[in-house]
Structure 1
Amino acid sequence: MARSTKKRENIIRVASKIFYEKGFAAASIAEIAKSAEVRETLIYELFSGKEDLLFNIPIENTNVLIDNLLEHLSGVKGTENKLRKLIWHYLNFMENNRDYATLVLFELRPNRRFYQASAYGSFKRYNRIVMDILKEGVTEGVFYENLNLNLLRNLIFGALDHIIYSWLIFNRPDKLVELSDELFEILFGTTRTLRLDDTSAAMQNQAPAWSLDKRIAILRAAEAIFAEKGFDKARISDIAKALNIGEATLYEYFKNKEDILFSIPDDRTKNLLTSLADDLEQNHAAESGLRVFIRHYLAFLEANRDYTAILLFELRSSRRFYSSPPYAIVKQYNDILMGILKKGQADQTFSRDANIHLIRHMIFGSIDHTALTWLLFNKPSSLLGVADSLAWFVLNTLRR
Structure 2
Amino acid sequence: MDTKKAQEKKDRILAAAEEIVSQKGLNDATISDISKKAGVADSIIYQFFKGKEDLVFSIPEAKFNEVFSQLDEHLQGIWDVESRLSKIVWFHLRYCDMHPQYAKILYFECLSNKDFYVHPGYEVIRKYAGMLLSCLEEGMATQRFRADIEPRLVRDMILGFLGCELMGCLAVGDIKSCVPDLHDFMNLVMGMLAPSHTQAQDGKAERILQAAESVFAEYGFQKTKVSDIAKLAGVGEGTVYEYFGTKEDLLLAIPEKHFNAYSDGLSEIFQMHNPLKKLRRYIKYYFSLFSTKRDFLRVFLIQVQLSRSFYGSKAFQAFEQFFKFADPIIEEGKAQGVFRQDVNTRLFRYLFIGTFNNLTLRWFVLDTDKKTDKMQAIDKITDLLCSAVSTDRDVRCWPTG
Q: TM-score range by the shorter chain?
A: 0.7 to 0.9
Query: Structure 2: how far apart are the matches of 1:179 and 1:123?
Result: 22
Which residue is 2:381 aligned to? 390
Instruction: After superposition, give the CA deviation of every residue in 1:170-214 in whole Å (9 maximum; x if it has no partner).
Output: 3332332111122112202321125798999xxxxxxxxxxxxxx
Tell me, yes or no, if structure 1 residue 331 matches structure 2 residue 333.
no
Other-structure match for 2:142 = 140
Contact 2:112 2:307 in 1 (8 A): no
Aligned residues: 322
Please tell me whether residue 191 in structure 1 is matched to residue 180 in structure 2.
no
2:14 maps to what in 1? 12
1:108: which partner in 2? 110
Go from structure 1 to structure 2 and tell me whether the alpha carbon gap of 1:152 and 1:299 turns closer, same or farther (over 3 Å shift): same
Alpha carbons 2:184, 2:343 under 8 Å: kept? no
Mapping for residues 3-82 of structure 1, pairs under 5 Å:
3-82=5-84
Q: CA 1:350/1:50 → structure 2, altered by over 3 Å: closer, same or farther?
A: same
Distance in 1 between residues matched to 2:357 and 2:83, nearest whole Å: 27
**Number of the residue aligned with 1:344:** 333
- Give the aligned partner of residue 310 of structure 2: 321
- Alpha-carbon distance, 1:282 to partner: 4.6
Q: Percent identical across equivalent pairs?
A: 26
**How much has 1:305 moved relative to structure 2?**
1.6
Amino acid in the other structure paired with 1:390: I
Deviation at 1:349, TM superposition (A): 2.3
- Structure 2 vs 1, CA of residues 382 and 25 (structure 1 numbering), >3 Å: closer, same or farther? farther
1:166 maps to 168
Q: CA deviation at 1:95?
A: 0.7
Q: Deviations over 1:340-390 (max 9, x none)?
A: 222222333222321111111111111111112213212564543322212
Q: How does 1:293-312 map to 2 (within 5 A)?
A: 293-312=282-301
Which residue does the alignment assign to 2:390? Answer: 399
**Residues 370 and 383 in structure 1, CA contact (< 8 A), matched pair in contact too:** no
Q: SS of the counterpart of 1:2?
A: helix
Q: TM-score scaled to structure 2, two decimals?
A: 0.75
Q: What is the rounded CA distance, in whole Å, between the counterparts of 2:105 and 2:16 in structure 1? A: 13
Matched AA of 1:24:
L
1:372 equivalenced with 2:361 (yes/no): yes
**CA RMSD, 1 decimal:** 2.3
Secondary structure of residue in 2 paired with 1:175: coil
The SS at the match of 1:70 is helix
Q: In 2 relative to 1, CA 129–388 (structure 1 residues): closer, same or farther, beyond 3 Å? A: same
1:159, 1:363 within 8 Å by CA — same for their partners in 2? yes
8 Å Cα contact 2:283-2:382 kept in structure 1: yes
Distance across 1 between alignment mates of 2:335 and 2:32: 58
Gaps of 5+ in 1: 201-278
Distance 1:385 1:300, change over 3 A: farther
* Paired residues for 1:228-239 under 5 Å: none
Alpha-carbon offset, residue 71 of structure 1: 0.9
Residue aligned with 1:172, SS: coil
Corresponding position of 2:90 = 88
Asked if structure 1 preserves the Cα contact closer than 8 Å seen for 2:146 and 2:194, the reply is yes
Cα pair 1:106 1:316 within 8 Å, conserved? no
Between the aligned partners of 2:370 and 2:188, the Cα distance in structure 1 is 25
CA distance in 1, matches of 2:13, 2:131: 30
Where does residue 97 of structure 1 map in the other structure?
99
TM-score by length of 1: 0.75
Q: Which moved more, 1:178-187 or 1:379-388?
A: 379-388
Range moving further from structure 2, 339-348 or 355-364:
339-348
Question: Distance in 2 between the 1:69 and 1:349 partners?
Answer: 38
